[in-house]
Amino acid sequence: MKAKAVTNFVATFGVDIILNPDLIVEKNGRFYMVDAVLRSLMVRADFFYAGLFLGKVKEGKFFPSFNLLSMLAKKNANRIVVDRKAAWLFICGRPLFAKSVVRVFGSVKKNTNVLVLNEFGECLGFGRIVGDLSPKVYSDEVAVRNVSDVGDFLRRERF
């Protein structure tokens, strides 16, 4: 199945999204979701970009797009909401502390992936839970390790 890399990644957030394999197009390890009309127009395989970019597979590992992460946030995936200061630090590539977590949704167990949202419900990226997220914990120990965030693109730019 072409979309196996995508569905396996989605499953790590505790949510099932049914992806029609007929509407998933893969080219050079990059996955796109297209609608039926666009799919019928794709008679050649030498396209550059089509539909909604879901992510890419590189060296056997799936790297999601923020389109896919936003879709997961709307489908009740495991997610946390962090305060304003922590949101900024997360975008800058920093880990999160338990004291910065405002709300927790879903099953947030250690060593699982979790979406990180700001107070406005915008998906900032995702991380891996490495510590205790209970609201009673106010230590300076890392609770969520940053895996990918929206600031990554800017940090990769060279001026």
Q: Which CATH number does the domain housing residue 112 bear?
A: 2.30.130.10
Residues 66 and 98 in one domain: no
Which tokens in the block code for residue 22?
A: 């007929």
Out of 14, 46, 71, a domain closes at: 71
What pLDDT, on a 0 to 100 scale, did the predictor assign at position 41? 67
Residues 50 and 102 in one domain: no
Out of 71, 104, 129, a domain closes at: 71
What total number of domains does the chain contain?
Answer: 2
Which tokens in the block code for residue 14?
A: 């505790």
Q: What is the Cα–Cα distance from 144 to 44, expressed in whole angstroms?
A: 43
Residue 75, strand partner residues: none
Average of per-residue pLDDT across 53-73:
90
Q: Which range is most confident: 38-52, 74-88, 135-149?
A: 74-88
Q: What is the CA radius of gyration of the chain?
A: 17
Name the residue range of residue 17's domain: 4-71
Indicate the pTM of the whole model.
0.85
Q: What is the Cα–Cα distance from 100 to 96, expressed in whole angstroms?
A: 7
Side-chain-side CA neighbours of 136 within 13 Å: the count stands at 0
Residues 55 and 84 in one domain: no
Residues 126 and 91 in one domain: yes
Q: What is the Cα–Cα distance from 102 to 118, expressed in whole angstroms?
A: 9
Residues 96 and 149 in one domain: yes
Question: Residue 109 in 3-state DSSP?
Answer: coil
Average of per-residue pLDDT across 119-124:
94
Is residue 83 within 8 Å of 98, Cβ to Cβ?
A: no
Residues 87 and 148 in one domain: yes
Is residue 86 within 8 Å of 93, Cβ to Cβ?
A: no
Instruction: Say which range, 23-32, 58-67, 86-95, has the weakest mean pLDDT.
Output: 23-32
- pLDDT category, 50, cuts 50, 70, 90? confident
Q: Is the pLDDT of residue 14 over 80?
A: yes
Q: What is the Cα–Cα distance from 50 to 24, expressed in whole angstroms?
A: 10
